[in-house]
Structures are given as structure tokens and as C-alpha cells.
Amino acid sequence: MDFENDKVITRTSAPAENPGAAPGKDAGDAAALELRRNAERRCRAIAVRIYDLDTRVYEQSGSTLGRTLISEKSKSINLLTRELIFRPQGEAIVSYMALIGNMARSLKDKKVRRAMMSEYNAIRQEILSLEGAVPDSDIGNPARMRLNPFIIRKNFGHQPRRKFTDQDRLVICIGRSYGCGGNDIGFKLADMLHIDYYDATVFRDVMDRELAERESAAGGKSFRDQLDEDRNLKGFRRWLVNFNRFHGLPPEDALFFNQSEYIIETAKKKDFVILGRCADVILRNAGIPHVSIFITAPFEERVRRTMEMQQLSQRDAARLIRRQDRQHARFYKRFTGLEWGSAVHYDLCINSASYGIEECVRLIHRVTHARVRDDLGLENATARRPAPPAAP
């Protein structure tokens, strides 16, 4: 399959003439080809909607940080189409939608914001309705789920430890082991609560844009030129630029400190879900209220899901999981001095194999939403009541 100009081109060989072939087989092949083409056209239509929404949100926001999709139109649409065809729930689409949604939620005009979020939600539903594009990626173990009483639709009631006020921010920090579905849970939870979502990819993009904005203003370059230059730095040139930029501090340390500052400032202003980045410890040390959650699953269940999602052998999937978990543990230990994944450091620990992705989302939503709803007197709302405007 090739992507050229504004077209998604499916390359197929002309069927060889075979007088003895059954007519039904040719008809079946033709039907399958037509189904594939329809799916490609549908993915392209969704890609165009994503690009157009990004354009409209950027125009309404007046942001200096630039569009989410910075390539020219045909290239961006082809990229989105390819991702939607092969992995509609993958990291690229999730990150693009998260960035666009975050910017849309920040629009000041309520009528415009409502229209943009309505289109955003419609596109999300279209993406979710794409069937057969990726393997079933749920982490749930049916045998364990049948034994889980919390899956029954029942109101258990919650008693908050202290009142949630209009001045509080709903910040949910999620740590997760590799392959347990934590990223999917975090993104779907943010969508359900109608709040922003940040993971490593989204954070990296935000940090890159803010850094490019500062340096473009100082150096007289356009924002886009500065961003492209930063992203294309390699080898010794990249090392030298980072050395001067961060005054000799290792880039990983500098990035962590910049992200920490961004997390603290953002937590004072708005609600969001954040994946990893030691956010729970950062906010705890800063004295900022938050909910900290750790999600994991049995090793064999994570191996199974990783094999399905990434088409890996059992051995390669197990090796990948161990490597990623070691990296998470080292990162957490280095910057917090604590043991990553230890239950004593989190408010809530969840075995996603006992619930499945959707029920994990509902469980966290029930815990947080019930408290917010009861404290603020919200009967049917799905999101926190916005804070009143500041007094003049």
C-alpha cells in the first residue's frame, strides 16, 4: 500500500486468467477488494476530519505553539490515513487526538469550545467504530473477571475524606507496568471525564514546542523553522546544542526538571490525567492534591497482550516487557528515591487483568466522579463543575 499525493493507493496484481476457476471465487475476491477500499476511504475521510479540526482549533485558539499537525496538508492526511488503517488505537492517533483535544478544551469562547468538542467526540466515536483494523487488545482475563464483584452495575456509595471544592483541581496520576493497558485506560478515562491527557509522547511534544517558542523568539527564527531544526538535530551537533542549552546538565535531567515545573504549574490551573513522569511524587512534594494510581497485570497476561498488539513471539514480548519495566523502575528510583510499583506509594492499585480496560476506566471514574459529584452537588454531570471567574 502506497501513499502518494492526496491518494491512498492499494497495489494489487491483476488476476491471472484461469478459465477453470470457480465464478464464486472471483466474486469473493472482488467483494473483499471492495471492502478493503471502502475501509481505506473511510479512514481517509476520518483523517481529513482530524486535520480540519486541528486547523479550526488552532485558528480559534490563537496559540503561538503552532498546530498539532505541522506538515503540509496532503502529507499530514496521508500519515493519519496510514495510522488509521493499520493502528487506529495506536500511540500516534492517541497522541494527535489528545493534543487537539487539550487545545480545544482551552478555548475561551464557550460556544466555539462546545462546537469543537462536539466534533472531537464525533471523530473519537468514528475511530472507535473502526472494526477489524487491530487485534483485540483487552487485557481482561474472563475467568478472573467473572469472580470480580465490582463489575456488577451497582451503586456502592463513597464517603469523601474532605470536601472537594470549586478551587480544587482533579489531577489523576497513573503509573503502569508495560503491557497492562495503562495508556489505553488513561486516555479513555480523560475522555470520559472531559479533561486533558498527558503521556510521555504528548509531554515530549509540549516541551519541544515550548522550547522552540522561547528560542525562536530569542533567535529571530519562525516557530516552525526552530521546531524542525530541533527535531532534526543528530549526533555530535545534538549533543553540543543540548550542552549549551542546558548549561552542561544531562538532557534527561533537564527534561525532568522542565517537565516537573510544567506539571506543578498545570496542576494549579486545570484538571488532567497524566501517565508516568513521576507526577505523583512531584505533586506530593509540591503539596498539590491529586489521586495516584498504579496499574499492572500478571506477567503472562501482559506477554499475551504484547504478542497480540505488536505481533511478537512470546520470547521477544517477554524480553520487551522486562526491559521496559527495568527502565521505568530506574527512572522512578533515580528521580524520586522510591521503589516503582510499590503499593505503599499509591492511593489505588489495580490489576487490570481482573477488570479489563473498560471496567478499569469505569472503576476509576466511579471513585473520582462520585466524590466530585457528591461534594459539589452534581447529580448527573460527568465532569467537574468549572471554577467561578476570579473577582475583578
Tell me which of 3.40.50.300, 3.20.10.10, 3.30.428.10, 1.10.4030.10 is the CATH number of domain 136-195+270-387. 3.40.50.300
Residues 309, 137 contacting (CB under 8 angstroms):
yes
Strands 2-4 and 7-9, sheet pairing: antiparallel
Specify the pLDDT at position 155. 38
d(CA 141, CA 301): 8
Residues 372, 164 contacting (CB under 8 angstroms):
yes
Specify the pLDDT at position 87. 81
In DSSP terms, 269 is beta-bridged to: none
Specify the pLDDT at position 132. 55
d(CA 59, CA 333): 42
The HSE-up count of residue 296 (CA atoms within 13 Å, CB side) is 15
Q: Given a cut of 90, is residue 227 above it in pLDDT?
A: no
List the chain domain ranges: 1-13+29-134, 136-195+270-387
* Mean pLDDT of all residues belonging to the chain: 76
Specify the pLDDT at position 112. 92
35: exposed, middle or buried (Cβ count in 10 Å: 0-12, 13-18, 19+) = exposed
Q: Given a cut of 50, is residue 72 above it in pLDDT?
A: yes
Residues 268, 169 contacting (CB under 8 angstroms):
yes
148: exposed, middle or buried (Cβ count in 10 Å: 0-12, 13-18, 19+) = middle
Specify the pLDDT at position 170. 85
Beta-carbon contacts of residue 157 (< 8 Å; ≥ 6 apart): 370
Question: Which residue bears the cell 462536539?
Answer: 118
Per-residue pLDDT reduced to its tens digit, 90-104: 888 888 899 999 989
Specify the pLDDT at position 312. 93
Indicate the pLDDT class of residue 212, thresholds 50, 70 and 90: low
